[in-house]
Amino acid sequence: MEMPTDMQHQAMGYDRTATMFSPEGHLLQVEYAEKTVRLGSSSIGIVCSDGILILADKRIDDKLIVSKSANKIFEIDSHIISSTAGIISDARVLIEKSQVLAQQHRVTYDSPIEPELIVKEISNIKQQFSQYGGARPFGVSMMIAGINGKNPELYTSDVTGNYLGYKANAIGEDDEKLKEKLREKYSEDLTIKKAVKIAVEIFKEVQGEKFNINKFELAFIKSDDLILNRIEGEKINKL
């Protein structure tokens, strides 16, 4: 009986380093990292007519955990936020790097950094860890949302170091199902309030009986005031 292809690759050692291509042209360690991302908790980001938002599932089931200590949405700068999916300890390193970049830009140029410059630098770091020996790829995808001037922007960086701009996107567990729903319901004239309602409805549809609004965190920035707003749990429904 012939051995399956993935088992052949493991037996021949193609997955022992992130720098070795398999005969089919795959970097197996990178693909394993992508699987890790899809085990992480989910986030939805949406570009709205009046700003940007990220709705994230904190996926906290233990009542002993202090909810505010397990934030899923991070502040990069007053006009940029980010959520992650995958290994949170990997994400923390990249988030801190992003925060330093944003502050260095303010000190050097006396102006807020563009969201794309952040995601480009983070993507470059991820790419390096898929090219050099002695290190493994970052097991995390990052969604970065921010205001560039008056224009809301949303970017997602995957484990390979690629990044793209989006009108709306989802990362983490069930990301394909979430994106399918987003394609059906997204429109460019959505306000933040309407987009929040749509994002919550999508999570309800995808998660079914597992859905619990108290496990969710919402962050949004309006284009006209550049103030980060955070809301958790039942307050999201009131919005």
Confidence category of residue 32, pLDDT binned at 50, 70, 90: confident
Both tokens assigned to 202: 């999508």
pLDDT of residue 2: 54
Both tokens assigned to 88: 């949170």
Cα-based distances in Å from 48 to 177, 191, 222: 21, 5, 9
Average pLDDT of the segment spanning 154-171: 96
Q: Is the per-residue pLDDT at 204 higher than 90?
A: yes
Q: Indicate the pTM of the whole model.
A: 0.90
Domains and CATH numbers, the chain: 26-238 (3.60.20.10)
pLDDT digits (tens, 9 = 90+) for 79-117: 999 999 999 999 999 999 999 999 999 999 999 999 999
Handedness of CA 108, 109, 111, 115 (dihedral sign): negative
Q: Is the per-residue pLDDT at 12 higher than 90?
A: no
